[in-house]
Amino acid sequence: MSDPILFVIAAVFLLAGFVKGTIGMGLPTVAIGLLATRMSPAQALAIVIVPSLVTNIWQTFGGPYLRDIVRRLWPLMAGVCIGIWSGSGLMTGPYALYGSIVLGVLLVIYAIVGLSKIRFTVPRSNEKWIGGIIGVLTGLVSAATGVQVIPSMPFMQAIGMEKDELVQALGVFFTTASVALIFNLTDAGLLNVSIAVPGAIAMVAAFAGMYLGQVLRSRMSPDAFRRWFLISMMLLGIYLASETLMKLHGG
């Protein structure tokens, strides 16, 4: 990759890591969304996957709830693997360009759900079968776009986990989804030596951003930052979808 693109990658992951360090999530969402303005979502995901996996593994083992999380969320995690593997080829096939439109729409939905006062509740007795369905749907969406927050995020917020347990559960779920995506990317030939340098730059920038975000979190209201972050994601989603539609129509 050219030096300007490597600089863009470093800047994107510094920002994405900063967001994750501040609010505990958002690295792949920010990184794929921004990189998709310069390359295909499949190429963006190939660069994002390793930094995302490493940071999520760290988050997975950052609390005492792992056993309970696996016991409650195994249908969700099994479902996301099934959905991702069933959707293999969606990101690189003849309709891959539509992935940018879907990604843009998902970013807008994600922002609207996050900004709204709407809160869903799933009874404990129903969370396993609903989780399995949500997992498959999230997996199919992730196979096409690389983004794993819709509809999994509203579901995990709806099952009533405490804040610290939810943060760890997000790490467990995103780690599982990232591992499943690695198989898809490997089959598509996207994980190769050509991404070694951009991947290394992304990793260093992501951890630097996370450190800065954690520093800011101690000084700034996370809720205020999260609100502006979601507004930015909405604007980015509108831009991605509209730009791709213009390309499809020759505009």
Q: What is the pLDDT of residues 192-215, one digit of tens each?
A: 888 888 989 999 999 899 888 878
223/74 Cα distance (integer angstroms): 30
Please compute the mean of the pLDDT values over residues 103-110 and round it to a whole number: 84
| Amino acid of residue 39 | M
Q: Is residue 159 classed as helix, strand or coil in its secondary structure?
A: coil
How many alpha carbons lie under 13 Å from residue 22 in its C-beta half-sphere?
A: 23
Q: pLDDT value at position 134?
A: 95
Q: Which of 23-32, 42-51, 110-119, 161-170 has the highest mean pLDDT?
A: 42-51
pLDDT band for position 76 (50/70/90)? very high
Structural domain count of the chain: 1
| Residue 90, pLDDT above cutoff 90 | no
Q: Is residue 244 classed as helix, strand or coil in its secondary structure?
A: helix
| Residue 244, pLDDT above cutoff 80 | no
pLDDT band for position 96 (50/70/90)? low
The answer, as to whether pTM is greater than 0.85, is: no
Q: Which residues contact 217 (CB under 8 A, 6 or more apart)?
A: 21, 22, 23, 225
Q: pLDDT value at position 179?
A: 93
Residues of the domain holding 130: 3-248
Closest of 165, 156, 80, 152 to residue 110, by C-alpha: 152
